[in-house]
Structure 1
Amino acid sequence: MNEVLTLDAMAAPLRALRLLAVDFPHLPAPVVDVNSLYPDRLSLSLHEQNGAFTAFEAWRAALSIDPAAVDFHVQFDGRTGVLNAEAKYAGATIELTAYTRVPTTARLSTAGVA
């Protein structure tokens, strides 16, 4: 039997979003995702154009996420750097993700790799 998820079941991430808007109105606006597949999660994505993660760092600090808890990887294309971290906030799990271009000079070469 399939249960219908109600909007009330998603109250924690929606409450967290409302509080983030009140507590941190000065921070860069992220792409926001709340969905019924993960009803306790609020996803904030930042797409940074400057080759740095300045907006991510501002959000990380605001959410009191330990820098050691941040995961960094480069996507398979070698051109996109990704930072990802999670935090609890207002009863929800906040997933914070940022993407930025990896400068050409910083891309790894596959020359000589077997």
Structure 2
Amino acid sequence: MTGTLTFDSLTVPLQALRLLAADFPHLPAPDIDLTRIYPDRLTLCFHDGLHVFEAWREALSVPPDAVTYTVQGGGTTGVLKASTVYAGAEVHLRGFGDMATDGGAA
């Protein structure tokens, strides 16, 4: 990265976040990650179970076959990942669920 980015450099993901809040106020709130390293990226993480990830995936019309599933934490945590473009921002969805309660893949 060359030079110092300004706050204005994060306009795309911030506008996408504002639209997500307006368009989907009924969905569970995610943990949100913005970074100057990838100024067009917005990452939404869900730690309340894989069903929360699925609700957001469906809302954003991400096809099921675009989702990857892995396991971490010695087999105790299921992880779903998907990406899409929303309002010009690259939106990454990350869902984490307890294998004992979520039963594995969503």
**Is the TM-score greater than 0.5?**
yes
In the alignment of these two chains, the number of paired residues is 103
Q: Does 1:43 align with 2:58?
A: no
Secondary structure at 1:85 match in 2: strand
Tell me what 1:22 maps to.
22
Percent identity over paired residues: 51
Which 4+ runs in 1 deviate beyond 4 A?
A: none
| CA positional deviation for 1:45 | 0.2
TM-score w.r.t. the length of structure 1 is 0.84
C-alpha distance in 2 between matches for 1:2 and 1:80: 38
Instruction: Give the counterpart of 2:84 among 75, 87, 92.
Output: 87
| CA positional deviation for 1:76 | 4.9
Matching residue's letter, 2:35: N
Tell me what 1:59 maps to.
56
Mark the runs of 5 or more structure 2 residues left unpaired by the alignment.
none
Q: Pick the structure with greater CA Rg.
A: 1
Matching residue's letter, 1:41: R
Matching residue's letter, 1:60: R
C-alpha distance in 2 between matches for 1:8 and 1:76: 38
TM-score w.r.t. the length of structure 2 is 0.90
RMSD: 1.8
| CA positional deviation for 1:37 | 1.1
Tell me what 1:8 maps to.
8
